[in-house]
Amino acid sequence: MKHKQIIDKIGVGQLAQAIEEDLIRLINLTMSLKRGGSIKDIPSYVLPLLLTRWDCVLLAEDGIAIHYKEKVVLTLATLLHKYGLSDKIITDKAINAIDHLNEAVVLSDDFYRKSPQIKDLLLTKPLEWKRRPKIPKNTTFFRPNDIVSIKLDDKYYVAYIHELTGVNESPILEFYDSVFENKPAIEDITALKAKGEKYNDGKVRIAHFAIYGMKYQPDFANQVHLIRAGNLEMIPDNSHLEEAIGLFTVSDLFAIQKTIEKMFEER
């Protein structure tokens, strides 16, 4: 049994592609950090960042179909194993998901017949990934003037997309100055100003971020949500902030997690 065979039997190709693209970005980064001596252990760096994003599906209390959660956790376990990583909680959930998917007859007869082999593969120790995986092409399906929310742990942060880099490569975001307990609606952000980034000199400046890997709309990980498409009237007011340094900061869906925490820590 090969990893690709398992993915094919799950039958949600774009979901697998979304997870694999996330993994590849993280693995490339961590390989660089390990060679530079910044980190020693790849799994302990990759897994928390990856799961902060995909737990938006796995830990969702409503709005996500149970069989979709099962397909996500099985795909996660399979691709982690492919790239030499494993997480006992994810693997255990994936094994249970196989049984539940079979009980509900969600997938094919072939998946049912091959389930023991799938379990055997996931329970074996994965082989260490030796080479850098090829970085996926940067593409986004979000558009300028979209307003989005990004979920981080149990909070929601809202941002405005000013433009895209390159030819539909990555959205350039500016955050609104508010944190929400629940996914906000458009009326919740009508009067909000822009959130700036505080620099070492104490000045709070205009902050724009180019988010690579923010591709799919809707987001398979249930982390990024479109609140309003093409809204030209709600560009965040940043007139109270100091002038920006540079056009934007290059980031991605994992680096922005730490940036958000730092920007909003004083709230």
pLDDT single digits (tens) 121-135: 999 999 988 888 888
5-17 exposure pattern, b = at least 16 Cβ within 10 A, e = fewer: ebbebbebeebbb
* β-bridge partners, 165: 170
Q: What is the pLDDT of residues 29-77, one digit of tens each?
A: 888 887 777 777 888 899 999 999 999 999 998 889 999 999 999 999 9
109 and 204 inside one domain: no
Listed in sequence order, the residues at least 6 apart from 29 whose beta carbon sits closer than 8 Å to its beta carbon are 254
Give the number of domains in the chain: 2
Q: Is residue 119 part of a domain?
A: yes
Could you give the CA distance from residue 116 to residue 98 in angstroms, rounded to a whole number?
9
Residue 267 pLDDT exceeds 80: no
Residue 60: which residues within 8 A CB-CB, separation 6 or more? 69, 222
State yes or no: pLDDT of 212 exceeds 80: yes
pLDDT at 119 over 90: yes
Check the CA dihedral 10-13-15-20 and report its sign: positive
In this structure, are 59 and 164 located in the same domain? no
Nearest 5°: phi and psi at 182?
-130, 160
Last residue of a domain, one of 123, 138, 158: 123
Backbone angles phi, psi at 106, to 5 degrees: -80, -40
What pLDDT shows up at residue 182?
95
Over 90: is that where the pLDDT of 248 sits? yes
Q: Quick check: 266 pLDDT over 80?
A: no
- How does pLDDT run across 237-247, given as a tens digit for each residue? 999 999 999 99
User: Could you tell me which residues are beta bridge partners of residue 194?
Assistant: 176
Domain that holds residue 77: 3-123
Question: For residues 221 and 136, which has the higher predicted lDDT (pLDDT)?
Answer: 221
Asked if the structure places residue 141 within a domain, the reply is no
- What is the rounded distance in angstroms from the CA atom of residue 78 to the CA atom of residue 7? 8
How high is the pLDDT of residue 40?
Answer: 77
Residues 119, 156: one domain? no
d(CA 79, CA 83): 6
pLDDT given at position 33: 80
Which of 57, 54, 16 lies closest to 5, judged by CA? 16
Q: Is residue 171 part of a domain?
A: yes
Q: Tell me the average pLDDT across 169-176.
A: 98
How far apart are alpha carbons 183 and 220 in whole angstroms? 16
Average pLDDT, the chain: 94
